[in-house]
Amino acid sequence: MRSNHIVWHPAHITKEDRRRLNGHKSAILWFTGFSGAGKSTLSVAVEKELHHRGIRTYVLDGDNIRHGLNRNLGFSAEDRQENIRRIGEVSKLFIDAGIMTLTAFISPYRKDREMVRRLVGPDEFVEIYVKCSLEECEKRDPKGLYKKARKGEIKGFTGIDAPYEAPINPELIVETDKESLQQSVAKVLYFLEEKGYLNV
């Protein structure tokens, strides 16, 4: 339980100051979709292009985060919620630091994604639905997880015996079973350019 004696300590340098120094806005690009849909691949490819344009970025990847910050969490509904809550709070700090933050998480529940959206400003959460059919994700199965889930070796696996709630009104949809990686990257970059994220 949080103490009642904790008080937020204000800083002299603001988010706007950091954005002006960087020359671009900061936001969360939240990539969501099935395991194997291409979230990590896409987020890393988008980051590479943004880096080449002088945009300060950082990728928070689901598996990587579970090696450290969230290594004590499992895959129950409650642990998944806490996983996303922590990532939301970390992403909020990155936004304050003026960094374009790319997050690649299955994040299967709408309420959890909406919780993160509410943590930040109106234009600081960009939900990107990495849409790919379950059949295609199972064919790809880059980590062999679907095979294990079908055998019952993994319980609570999204799309097999746990639900995935697709975004209802995401800012952007990329269809990785119909588009090349280059086409998906271009779609994300075009969105960011059109919405003015790449300048102050």
Q: What residues are labeled active site? A: 107
The candidate with the shortest Cα–Cα distance to 60, out of 117, 103, 107, is 103
Q: Per the structure block, which two tokens stand in for 126?
A: 């960009």
Paired sense of beta strands 172-175 and 100-104, if any? unpaired
Amino acid at 66: R
End-to-end CA distance of the chain: 39
16 membership: H or E segment, kind and range: helix 15-22
Residue 28 near residue 126, CB atoms below 8 Å: yes
What contacts 24+ positions apart, CB below 8 Å, involve 52-55? 53/198, 54/23, 54/24, 55/22, 55/24, 55/100, 55/198
- Return the SS3 of 74: coil
Residue 176 near residue 132, CB atoms below 8 Å: yes
Taking the CA atoms of 68, 145, 81 and 111 in sequence, report the sign of the dihedral they define: positive
